[in-house]
Structure 1
Amino acid sequence: MAFSSWTEVISMGGYGFYVWLSFGISLAALAALMVHGILTRRSLQQQSKQQQQRQQRLARRKQQERSR
């Protein structure tokens, strides 16, 4: 489908509102998924770090108890 002007591209033969709305919703959904993924990754990294620190503290306590 060839368009002769940018106005025709935007109007899409009368269906432009629906076409551009669907593009906008799709882009918004992809952006939301990216943000959610980034936030989830940060949260998991933080939880993993906290768990490793807990395990290190428990290991140190066990060693201290054994040395007594």
Structure 2
Amino acid sequence: MSQFLDMGGYAFYVWTSYAVFAVVLLADYLAPVLRRRRNLRDVRARMARQGARRRNENA
């Protein structure tokens, strides 16, 4: 098991590449999710502003 984890002396490079791959994969998954949340929040705020403006015009 120790030899497998050591990777023939290249363990640092191999495990670092796996870690970088995992971080990129996680970022690639989370970016659209976070962007969607931000866009929905912006649309809700814009709709609230428009509704307030219409109420003020009708009052």
Aligned partner of 1:51 among 46, 49, 56: 46
Tell me which residue corresponds to 1:39.
34
Following TM superposition, the consecutive aligned residue runs of length 4 or more in structure 1 with deviations greater than 6 angstroms are: none
> Hey, what's the Cα distance between the residues in 1 that align with 2:17 and 2:24?
10
Identity of aligned residues (%): 29
When normalised by structure 1's length, the TM-score is: 0.62
Higher relative contact order (CA 8 A, sep 6+): 2
Task: State the TM-score, normalizing by the size of structure 2.
Answer: 0.67
Please, which moves more after superposition, 54-63 or 30-39?
A: 30-39
Cα offset for 1:43? 2.0
The structure with the greater share of residues assigned to helix is: 2
Q: Aligned pairs, how many?
A: 59
1:28 corresponds to which residue?
23
Residue 9 (structure 2) aligns with: 14
Q: CA RMSD in A?
A: 2.1
> Structure 2 CA distance, aligned partners of 1:7 and 1:38?
39
**Larger Rg belongs to:** 1
- For structure 2, the 5+ residue unaligned runs are none
